[in-house]
Structures are given as C-alpha cells and as structure tokens.
Amino acid sequence: MRLAGRDPEALKAQLPALCSFHRVLAAGELNDAARVHFILHRLIPDYLARLPAGRDCQAIRELMTWEDSDGDARSLTTRYHKASAHLLNAADDFGRRQEPRLLLECARRFAALDHEDRLQAATADSGMPAAEVIRALEPREEAPSAPIPAEDPAAGVLGVHQSLDNRLFADYISTAERIMILNTWIPEVGILADALVEALARGTDIRILMLYPYSHIARLRSEALHGPGQGAPRDLVRPGVKHCLDVLAAIAGMVDEGQRRCLRVRLYHSLPSIAVYSVDDRAFMSVFLHGQISFKAPAIEVQGQESLLGRPIFRELETLWEIGQEFGDLIRWQDEIEDMAPRFRVPVDGYGDLSVER
C-alpha cells in the first residue's frame, strides 16, 4: 500500500496473494511489471468500487487510493486523515490502531470478491448450476491443526500466575512506553498509583477502560460476584468504578498539563469478556468468574501481539477502546459521567431494585 504510489517497481514479485487472484491469472501471461500495473490500476480500483458503503469500506477506499483525480500521488498522511474522517472515535495513532484492522478487513473482502469472480467464471464456462459450482469450489475440510505447546513462543504463553502479580506489573510499568488496562474496575488502582504517576512523567501513553457503572451489565456483574448465603446482592461495580475515577483524577492532578494528556480513560458499555493489564507487547489476562474478582483469579502472562493467544487479547483491547466513551477532563469526571448516559442509551438510575451506593 505504501509503495503503490511511490515506487511500484519495488512491488515486483512481492504480491503473491494478489497475483493468484482469478482476474490476474485470466489476464494471461504478463511479465512482473505488467502484472503489478494490472493489480494497481485494474484489479484494486475495481474491487474498491465493488465494496459496500459502510464506514470501514469508505475508510479502506481512502487508504487504498494512492492517486488523486489528477493522477498526483496522495501522501500516506493524507490517506490516514481522509480515512479517519469516516470512522467514529478514530484513534489518534491511526497507523498503529486502525490501519492494521482496516487492512485485514480489506484482505477479507478482496478474497470474497475473488471468490465471486471465480464462481462467476466457473458457472459461465461449465454451464453448471451455481449451487453445484459452489460445492465443487469449496475446500475440503482439513484435519485440525496440532496444538502449539505452551512453551513455544508462537503460543504467546509466558506463564500462569495464581493471581495478578501487582509488583511484577508495576516493575513492567517502570520501563513501558504504552500501558493499557481493561477491567470492570481496578480494585488495586491505589497500589499502582505511584508507578502510573512516574510513567506519566516519562510521557508514557496510558489508557484505562472500565465498565460504565450505570449499565445493567454492571448490575449483573455485581450479582455474579455475590456469593451464596450472603443476603441481598450488594452493588460492587458502581462504587468500584467511582473510586477508581477518583484515584485516576488525583493522579492526573499530580502531573502537568502535557503529561496529563497521556492519561486517557474511557468507559465501555458491553459484556466484559476478559480483564487485561498490558504493557507494550506483554499482558496479564484473566477471566471473569462467579464469586471472584478478576485480579484474584489465575492470570496468564502473554507475550507478543501476534502470538496465538496475544492476537485475540490485544484485538479485544482495541475493540472495546473503539466503542468506549472518553472523559474530556478526567478531573471533572463526575460532571461528564452523567452526560454519557444518552450516548450509551442507559438511564442514569438504571439499576432497578439493586442496592445502590451513590
């Protein structure tokens, strides 16, 4: 994508997947330069035109359009800017957070369009009904792949801790360039406060995701934490989130304005899937169990965003970050949190009969 408008000659023999597409093969015997030209100026523009009109697809069109209507090259920065304009809550670091996701979606849709081209050509050539052609083109079911041993780096598993090791996590924070925490709330935020302040002083990017405390999902999580024989369910999530916001606001007040911008906090309104405490390419991951707070549950230490286990974990972080609502001024979080209710379509007092601590 980067070379297409700048140095297409460098793409020779570098596009094996696209070169195997039906339309490229059907173009006949082409040398490397002609094949690259066909892909860049025929195949990709046609496929972009065939994409649906959703936000992601509009962003993909901008990313993959390396020339303007006059034939002049469009810089990558321009393409990033135009692509992000189509997305809701586009991340500031577009190249790190949005571009990989959009290119993966682009690859998936291009593969589907190639399948349509193959099906159409096979139907026309054979005279067979489309259903029979589809069955003929379907790949045979492959045997399940062998499991990757946990000690293999490709698996991504560094070890399993009895619970979240706060001291070890704080040690990782001391050298981190990027920190991201996902939980319903962070019971141990006070333990991590000093390490977070020092990280902000270094300019470390810190992102915190917690559950929107007025949602019915927060109520269900409180009920799940309630053990049998303990009387009426007690609200744990709402006061937990509010306490964390108080601590995070205090942390924000301890650094200067420039450093404060490095601390970003969002609330999400979605089913909590996993709790993640990540630093750069490493993360502690635990699950939400009944009757147990996540940071006391066994925690898997994971290495590598592209490892077998790391890939879905870091993708979940990105997904929830994109749907979260961010505080503009964390120090004034009490004023802003109620303004989030219409955006989440949740009444501010949405807990029903569950005991509420305000």
Q: Name the residue with tokens 């230490």.
A: 301
Taking residues 1-11, report their average pLDDT: 75
Residue 291: per-residue pLDDT: 79
DSSP string, 270-327: S---EEEEEETTEEEEEE-BTTB-GGGS-EEEEE-TTSTTHHHHHHHHHHHHHHSEE-
Q: How confident is the model at residue 36 (pLDDT cuts 50, 70, 90)?
A: confident
Of 314, 296, 288, 283, the residue nearest 218 (C-alpha): 288
Confidence of residue 127 (pLDDT cuts 50, 70, 90): low
Alpha carbon distance 265, 261 (integer Å): 10
User: For residues 21 and 42, is the Cβ–Cβ distance under 8 A?
Assistant: no
The mean predicted confidence, pLDDT, of the chain is 83
Mean per-residue pLDDT, 141-165: 78
Give me the pLDDT at residue 133, please: 52
- Rounded to whole angstroms, the Cα distance separating 231 from 169 reads 35
Q: Quote the pLDDT of residue 277.
A: 96
pLDDT digits (tens, 9 = 90+) for 201-228: 999 999 999 999 988 888 888 888 876 6
In this model, does residue 234 exceed pLDDT 80?
Answer: no
Superfamily of domain 157-344 in CATH is Endonuclease Chain A (3.30.870.10)
pLDDT at 119 exceeding the cut of 80: no
Per-residue pLDDT, 355: 37
Report in angstroms the alpha-carbon separations of 41 from 48, 71, 137, 186, 323: 11, 12, 28, 51, 35
> What pLDDT shows up at residue 205?
94
pLDDT recorded at residue 131: 61
pLDDT by residue (tens digit) across 293-337? 887 889 999 998 888 889 999 999 999 998 899 999 999 999 899
Report, as an integer, the average pLDDT of 75-91: 81
137: pLDDT strictly greater than 60 = no
pLDDT band at residue 344 under the 50/70/90 scheme: confident
**What is the predicted pLDDT for the residue at 272?**
81
Residue 41 has pLDDT above 80, yes or no: yes
pLDDT at position 261 is 92
Mean pLDDT across 91-100 = 75
Lowest mean pLDDT across 3-7, 130-134, 295-299: 130-134
DSSP 116-178: HHHHHHHHHHH---HHHHHHHHSPPPPPPPPPPPTTSTTT-EEEEESS--HHHHHHHHTT-SE
Check residue 356 and give its pLDDT: 36
Q: Please, what is the angle between helix 189-201 and helix 237-253, to 10°? A: 30
Contact 302, 169 (CB under 8 A): no
More confident residue, 187 or 128: 187
pLDDT band at 352, cuts 50/70/90?
very low
In the chain, where the domains are located: 8-137, 157-344
Residue 184 predicted with pLDDT over 90? yes
Does the model's pTM come out above 0.85? no
Pick the more confident residue, 212 or 342.
212
Give the pLDDT mean for 138-146: 60
Per-residue confidence (pLDDT) for residue 13, from 0 to 100: 72
